Structures are given as C-alpha cells and as structure tokens.
Amino acid sequence: MTRCAITPIHSVNIFKENIVKKLIPALVLGLGLSAAINAQDVGMLNDDFQVSYYGEINANGVFHEDYNYNYTYSWLSLQVEWKKKVRAVLTTNLTSIFENNDIKLEDDFSLEEFITEAYIEIKEVGGAPVAIIVGKRSIPFTSKVEAMPIFGNNPLEDQFNQEEVFGLTVRLDKGILGLFDSAEISAFETEEGDLSIGTINGVSAKLSKELTRNIVANAGVVRIDHDSDTEMRGLLGVVAKSDDGDLVGWVNGMIFSNNPDFPNSDFGITAGTKYQLTGAADVVVEMTYIEKEVLQYAIGTNIALTRRITLGAEVRYNDYQDSREDEVVFGVNARYTFGVNNYAPNEEYLIGDDQ
C-alpha cells in the first residue's frame, strides 16, 4: 500500500476523463485477442492434447497522487494440456504494452517482466495422487479472496504469496487419514521479474482441509533467507459460504518476523464478507489490520455490465497506527475477461447478449 496524501478534489474531472480513455484501448485489445485466437479454432488438437487461453484486462483509477491510472493485473494465459496429466502454462503481463492510452510496446519493455509465468505441472506422478510443478510462477502460501474491485490495494495482499519466482512445488492431492485434503511443499528463489534461476532461499508448506461442505481452512508456514536475517511467516485462513453461495466470508491472519515490508510488526489480519445483492451486483466489506502500521476499512461493489465486462468502485479508509495522517482512498475498476469457448465469468448481467 503506497503511503501518501490524498489527491485534491478538483482532480475529479481529470480522473473521469482519463479512466474512460484508459478503458477504450483495454477493450480494443481484449476484443482483438479474443477474436484472433478464436479464429485459429483453439480447442482439441487431437484426443490427447488440448489448448486453451484465458485473459483479463483491468483498467484501474485511484484518487491518490501516487497511484495514477494503470492496467495492473492485466494478463493473458496460454495452456497446453496432455491427457489431463501434463500441463504447460505461459502467462504474460499485458500491463507493459500500454503507453499513453495506446496499444504498443513501452520504451522500457522487458521480456522477463512480460512473462510472469512459465511452468509445467505433472499430475499423478507414478500413478499416485502427487503433482509436481516446476518453473516461474506465483508460489501461494495460503488461500485468499480477491473480491474487492482493486484487491491489490489491500496492504497485506503481497504477503500471501511470492510473485514471479522460479520454484519447485510437490503437491499431495489426497490427505492422510483424513487429516487434510491437500498439502504442498515448495522451494523457490525470491528474485522477481526475471527468467533465470537464482539462489533457492525460500521454502514453504501449505495444508488445506474442508471442515464442512461450506467451510475450508488453510494453514501455511514460510521461511525466506535474506542477506542479513531470516524471515518467517505463519498463516492461517478460513473461507466460508452460504448454501446458496450468495454470502461469502473469509479471515486470513499471519504472524511474521523480520518482514522487510513491515519491519516493526509481528502480526497482521484481513477479514471480509461479500454479499450478492442481485445476480449482477455484489457488495464487499473488508477490514485489514497490521500491527503498528495501519487499520484499513474498505467497502466496494462490483456490477456485471455484460458477460465479460465488470465495473467496480471502492472506498478505503487508512487509520495509520504511527505519525502518518489518516486518509481516504477512492478507486474505480473496469475489467474485461475473455477466453476459449466464449469464457465469461458473469452468469447474470445488466446488458443483453455479449457475443
């Protein structure tokens, strides 16, 4: 979470003008990619191989002088699967191809930063319920719920996983004696944004258990060796939902030591709930606390405009626990999602057929 003062109110008109300009090239790119790949008749190559693609373009605007307007969390993922046992994934960061509201490569374009994931997953190794994942990807330490329109504005967002690193994960997809449903052990290096294998300086373990049909618990532990000290994280999370799925609640807490992002803190927690007001609109409430840092209250809403387009707005109040002045941050998000077989996340929406 960037720490700075809120932008003056007179920036409202500029904000609205820029967010519209940002959304137009985003939609053009999404429609172009969707049409181009569909034209190649992506699908089953034969009985053994299947090719698929999914993507998302986010145009974000925030009333905050350091955020500006951006396409953070815009991506395109291509996947090739063989007999549902071997899967190769290549995911690109579409943020880097936008410049001055145009769709083109930026001057400082980096292939290493453009490719955010490049890994292979092998399932049922030796016929056992064991999977191996190796390559560049995000290493998750526990589950998290990304329900807020601009979920990355949560100050604990980056603590639940390690982004864009090379690593090896061994996953057990069947528990032992009912103690857990799945387990993962990962070893990884923490140098982000490159395509080379550095020094393996991180290890993590994660367990998942379905407590009831509607409640899932996750626990994780992480150790990362830095140059001068060793960072430790312990994580525990619970996600619950109602029988009809309209109400979802979550709590994710962690204890940590020698955390470079929060060196004076030992504890953090985020909790929230999402309620589906109608089939096309929801409301999200979230609270996040980091010891000696910040207590953040957030409320947001997402509206499914079409099958693929979702509009969102949020307000966050940061009650800083130190000498910094408290602030209110308002943000809006426009998301366009596309994928193989006319993939679209919105089952209900406001505007008619979106073909």
Residue 40 has pLDDT above 50, yes or no: no
Helix (H) or strand (E) holding 138: strand 130-140
The distance from CA 58 to its chain's CA centroid, rounded to whole angstroms, is 12
Structural domains of the chain, ranges and CATH numbers in brackets: 9-342 (2.40.160.10)
DSSP codes of every residue in 49-110: EEEEEEEEEEEEEESSTTT-EE-TT-EEEEEEEETTTEEEEEEEEGGGGEETTEES--TT--
Average pLDDT over residues 321-349: 90
Q: How many residues does the chain have?
A: 355
- DSSP helix/strand/coil, 193: coil
Rounded to whole angstroms, how far apart are CA atoms 247 and 262?
32
Q: What is the mean pLDDT of the chain?
A: 84
Rounded to whole angstroms, how far apart are CA atoms 116 and 107?
19
pTM score of the predicted model: 0.82
The 10s digit of each residue's pLDDT in 124-155 is 998 899 999 999 999 989 888 899 999 999 99
Q: Which of 54-58, 91-95, 214-218, 314-318 has the lowest mean pLDDT?
A: 91-95
pLDDT of residue 14: 45
pLDDT bucket at 69, cuts 50 / 70 / 90: low
pLDDT of residue 2: 38
